Structure 1
């Protein structure tokens, strides 16, 4: 997900349009469709300003991610919405990694959707290209989502998305090999002395040595990606080569050495070794749970990431969301549909079909699978992945991590990489 960011430099001027809300509710949607203030007026300031909707549409078009499980969930939920409203919902499967590019071409020509799907880290690109407008949510509508999820779909102080699910990474462990999980990653080194036998592909702990997973070592020593002020990221303020970041990457290189993690470790190799019972602990995302659980059964456990430098270890948090196309002819009804697709009941069904942690707090509390507890706990310490377009340049840090764990000087590598990031941001014209 993190490496599918596409640098979009063409700015499409958005037509801001406003709609009058339909005077009714969708059964079971917690008044999701009213979209009204107490005086009965439409609460859609900033969204598709200038448009007027006097009648409900015959059809709404939704671009869903083409993952089979997600697609099945969305199609079932769409049928429920149609039964409740009489509005046909056409589901079009489009790969999430391709939607923004295709939307920029199709929407202006009138061939786009009313709702489309994206992870929140693409939000900056979406806004810059004028593909989605801000949405106004009442307090009741905001309460439908966790605070972390709602924060993730805000851009420069305005809300754009309707969160579906939240994902992050945590640690999985094999109970047959690890009796008690270390409290800190630094303590993993001691465990490595007992379990690691690299010659026979046996390890106490494995993770992929790249920027995505190493972020706790940067932040917990005082580094950061972008500076923040008044709820906005400042891309001119990079904290990836400050004193704290250098200390953190120095500690990370030592951690990789002490635990015996191969510098060239990949997800596929790590998964294979863990499934073969050769690894005690791995750091991985929720997406790995099914394969791990199917193979290890009751021996599998999860937990939040052990502390780093004496502090709770943050992880990147991603939020998948629905966005209303700024070219939609039915923005108010699209909002109603988005709220319906993400209410507590719908989120319960979505979780049952996909296994993804819902953005709905009520749906989160209804999860009874103990393997999810480690991830729910980790989300509390998580940090939203920056959603501004300049973030795409930051993934140059992957190469920096490669050099550092292979022994290059952290200060020199981070100085050079930070300059490359600055140059790329400047060249983009952002």
Structure 2
């Protein structure tokens, strides 16, 4: 509930201006609800218009992307870059290529990124971008031509000290390579303007694994601190089948869990013996369908309807697919089937109603902006390596990632306790991320 008058006034203004952007409104309301005790204690935030400025992007770039397909036909997509807040560092956030991309989706992701980046303790502001282009089913040449056209416009607005994009859904090593090549061609400079680059051209070891591994480091630490427990012996349901899901399965399995599902656009795979990573990685390497899994692994099953994955009984759920994939009904099913932990690898995968179900069911809930911050954390470490012209070992980078994720848990719990919400990881993440940004905004004046 919104009870603070300042918070209510700010949210009403957002509703009036952006009433046609449901994902953005959802993200803003969830954060503002958590921040009410903070702004009540700190009147300087209201005096300096911190919330009003926090919910309004510093800049939105929206542009046409015209490219030619393999048949010689011109195709047109929309491109976006939202540069949301630079109070603590250059804008930082991924690029998403998916038909679901809209201005609302990019704005919610950019808004969440402000607090997520703050939580890592690294000097990075919040931004996000992407396009409604769908790489699936496209040839490598078509993807290259699209990426080159996209970067031809985007390069005007980014730079290593201004805005450093990375990958997100459907933007992996192939896409980052094409984007970086075009940036370098146009600007004639070799800088760390993108992260998630190949190891051959200044990428970082452990970046591919970072979001999935970080999700598990966060979950393991939260379990240890709040439940005196661990992944060992647990059954885990995972949605998605991309990098986040793949490496979350890898690390959770290494920690003693059994991960029994993956999912895609058409449905999900259930393997009661535990997902075989060698098969999954091979399928993803040739951009195949997860339906191939059941053809290659005896005893596994394919089920239509991706949302039905949450009906599989489990101890821990790791949603790693997309926003709002767990609604109230799915959350009730999870709790009824014995799930006691939900930590988010995707961005905002739980609806507000689902989160209320978690709270009522005493579920340990790790929100996306904290639990999946490992990806951007290692992106920040890649930026540092690029600046120093150094390359750290996998072990060095992974150790830094583990330390960052443990610190996020500790800082979230400390912030929640300070404001009377002990044990609430969601409120704690919002508060801990916000206070650092808010104090920087106050210190820098009205800008």
* TM > 0.5 fold call: no
TM-score (norm 1): 0.33
Larger helix fraction of residues: 2
| Higher RCO, Cα 8 Å, sep 6+ | 1
